[in-house]
Structure 1
Amino acid sequence: MKNKLVAARAGLVLVLATACPAIATAAEGGNTQYGLGSSQFYSGAIPPFPGVYALSVTGYYFANQLNDGNGHKLPLDFSVKVSSQTVRLLGVTNTKFLGGTVWGQLVIPVVLNLDVDLGPLGDSRGGLSDIIVSGGLVWHDGPSTYIVGVDTALPTGSWHAGRLANPGLNHYSTQPTFGYGYVDHVNPTWEVAASLRYIVNFENPATNYTSGNELVLDYAAGYHFGPTRLGVVGYYLNQITDDKGRGVGSNGNRGRGFAIGPAVTYDFLPMTQLSVSYQKEVVAENRPKGGNIMMHLSFKF
């Protein structure tokens, strides 16, 4: 084993936890500066009407297994539990550019409680995580929605190398994204959505460690039964480049992951929606392997 941070990812839009001492895992601490699987049907859900919209996400992530680079469970007494609350504020403007509508958003994630156990060690912590600011363009073409944008993650969350649990990651990242959604808004039946992002991680100045760049695909597919939608949601993660820094293994500490699970959504009003989902991680390489429960509530101010 190498002296390197170990941890688990959680919740919506970057609820993050780190632990030490440890083994080589994907990225620094096995973390990704994005809430994997959090976009779901909202990947292509920027409304065509100007205004301010809110998405509240309550998340609970849990894992009792840490996998090596081949996806095999490591012989470690390991567990992580994270409860989180994230608020996404989305502003859709009247401004047009290249035929699309300009939008911007602010994502504020808060770790309500983070419990990490690694062998005889344990820690519990909460607080603000890493805030994301973003902007881009959206095009609406009948039932199809196309979104491009750039997310920037800021190191606003508390972090210290000597702690077992950290709400933040202590580095910046930039994340070009593309989203697509399809649904007939007049007579909805089938609905599909996906978002693809490329995460470029910057160096953690406290450790001189740079996590490798990552490709993340969030996906969702469902069918409408009146105001109710039943569907399947999940994510795919593939780390494209090696980590750089002390303790990097021969495989570059590259990580992969895949999760899938059910989602149920109910429309209370045209602009108010509640969704509950569960995603089980069926593939995890150089990462924890667990499950994620999320509740999304979206509405317009």
Structure 2
Amino acid sequence: MASSIIEPKSFIRLLPSSIGIAILAVSLFPEISHADESGVSYWLPGRFSSLAATPQVPGWSMAEVYYHTSVSAFGNLAAAREIQVGRIPANINVDLNLRLNAQADLVLLNPTYTFATPVLGGQLAIGVTGLFGRSAATIDGTLTAAVGPFAVTRMGSIGDSITSVGDLYPQATLKWNAGVHNFMTYLTGDIPVGAYSPTRLANLGIGHAAIDGGGGYTYFNPQAGHEFSVVGGFTYNFKNQDTQYQNGIDFHVDWGASQFLSKQIFVGLVGYAYQQITDDFGQHPILGGFRSRVLGVGPQIGYLFPVGDMQGYLNLKGYGEFANENRPAGWNTWLTFSISPMAPSAGAPIRRMVTK
């Protein structure tokens, strides 16, 4: 893809399974508020990184990404998952001491076409990402539910997994170059056609549409091999009609810094910051505004090589997450292979089609 591979953020949801009588008791109430779509945002942090704003070689490109994540959460976030699948109504007092664990292994495919004819003085690229993979999650702990003087407590575990296809993620970018300075704007979103059920703990779709837009900057000096990129944007989430829940507006920043060691190899750092800036609508009262936050940072290495008359590219990057709030945190890794048109000259290792 011209600047990034879209990564599904819906890697963790969980399936309703019983934690004994406590779940049975609260499941008798069909009308509920749901929790922040379980702390999962449309935007998956880390989507952009190094060389994000550099113009690309016109023509078709194809990128494939293997993505693995392992995360956990406690407190309100685990409670949010329990509320989603357990159908806990507002008139029941709930005390949850729970731990959420989730993993996902996904393969993403992203064909992109970069136009040679300038648009508004910049370079236009349009692509779409689809995904296939497996998501799994478990909740362990204790749940206590009380209605008036009656209370019931159960300890146990619930879990779910799914192997299927996810949503579609179209994206358009427009990029401009001015020497070592590069600028971009982008528009992307979610078409909710993937595997999704509001009564499952694990999904590969998010159950609602979303639209996201923003801009970015890349400094790239091919002579010195220095590079730094930063991309920021906002997400607007549409209402999930199955749950009558609507996530708030999200703000996110992705960045990458690298140093080319040769014309083919570079190393560097990547990072991100994600902050929800408005409250969710439809959340359970015990969760409040349920705004999510997470930070991440980690290493990366990239390798460029010829594939016939095309350019091949391999990249491995990983993030460790911290400072999370109302969102799972852990670690994730990306292994990317892309193939794209070769640059006209065999100069510095500048243009590649993905930043994963």
Normalising TM by the smaller chain, what interval?
Answer: 0.7 to 0.9
Contact residue 25 and residue 68 of structure 1 kept, 8 A: no
Q: Distance in 1 between matches of 2:7 and 2:137?
A: 19
Contact 1:12–1:109 (Cα < 8 Å) also in 2: no
Among 16, 22, 38, the residue aligned to 1:29 = 38
Residues 78 and 136 from structure 1, CA distance in 2 versus in 1: closer, same or farther, beyond 3 angstroms?
closer
Number of the residue aligned with 2:323: 283
* Partner deviation per Cα, 1:49-104 (whole Å, 9 max, x = no partner): 311122221110002333658xxxx9423211100111222211123232112221
Tell me which of 103, 121, 125 is aligned to 1:103: 125
Quote the offset at 1:15 in angstroms: 4.3
Structure 1 residues 241-280: aligned runs within 5 Å: 241-247=278-284, 249=286, 251-269=288-306, 271-280=311-320
- State the partner residue of 2:143: none
Assess, with a 3 A threshold, how the Cα gap between structure 1 residues 46 and 61 changes in structure 2: closer, same or farther: farther
Residue 6 of structure 1: aligned partner:
none
TM-score by length of 1: 0.86
Q: In terms of Rg, which structure is larger?
A: 2
TM-aligned CA distance change 1:35 to 1:137, over 3 Å: same
What is the SS of the residue equivalent to 1:37? coil
Total equivalences in the alignment: 283
Look up the equivalent residue of 1:19 and give its one-letter code: L
Give the letter aligned to residue 32 of structure 1. Answer: S
Residue 18 (str. 1) matches residue 18 (str. 2): no
Quick one: which amino acid aligns to residue 137 of structure 2? V
Report the equivalent of 2:138: 117
Task: Give 1:188 shift.
Answer: 4.7
- Counterpart of 2:28? none
Report the CA distance shift for 1:20/1:248 in structure 2 as closer, same or farther (over 3 A): farther
Change (3 A) 1:123 1:202: same
1:147 aligns with 2:155: no
User: How much does 1:127 deviate?
Assistant: 1.5
Structure 1 residue matching 2:252: 3-state secondary structure: strand
Give the unaligned 5+ runs of structure 2.
Answer: 17-22, 24-32, 78-95, 141-156, 342-356
Tell me the distance in 1 between the aligned counterparts of 2:58 and 2:243: 43
8 Å CA contact 1:12, 1:57 repeated in 2:
no
CA contact (8 A) 2:271 2:319 kept: yes
Matches within 5 A, 1:174-193: 174-185=211-222, 187-193=223-229
Determine if the alignment matches structure 1 residue 55 to structure 2 residue 55.
no
Distance 2:172 2:329 in 1: 32
* Corresponding residue for residue 149 of structure 2: none
What does residue 38 of structure 1 align with?
47
Q: Distance between the aligned counterparts of 1:230 and 1:144, measured in 2? A: 20
Distance 1:103 1:289, change over 3 A: same
Deviation (angstroms), 1:109: 2.3
Q: Deviations over 1:223-268 (max 9, x none)?
A: 1111221111121001011100141556411011100011111122
1:38 is displaced (CA, Å) by 2.5
Distance (Å, rounded) in 2 between the aligned partners of 1:230 and 1:19: 37
The residue matched to 1:28 in structure 2 has which SS?
helix
Amino acid at match of 1:148: T
Structure 2 CA distance for aligned equivalents of residues 236 and 188 of structure 1: 28
- 1:192/1:203 CA distance change after superposition, 3 Å: same
Q: Give TM-score, length-normalised by structure 2.
A: 0.74
Whole-Å Cα distance in 2 between the matches of residues 248 and 220 of structure 1? 39
Aligned-partner SS, 2:117:
strand
Report the 3-state secondary structure (helix = DSSP H, G, I; strand = E; otherwise coil) of the residue aligned with 2:13: strand
**TM-aligned CA deviation for residue 12 of structure 1:** 5.4
Deviating more after overlay: 207-216 vs 95-104: 95-104
Higher helix share: 2
Shift in CA distance, 118/213, structure 1 to aligned 2, threshold 3 Å: same
Answer whether contact 1:67 1:287 (CA < 8 A) is retained. Answer: no
The structure with more strand, counted as a fraction of residues:
1
CA contact (8 A) 2:207 2:240 kept: yes
Instruction: Say yes or no: does 1:134 pair with 2:174.
Output: no
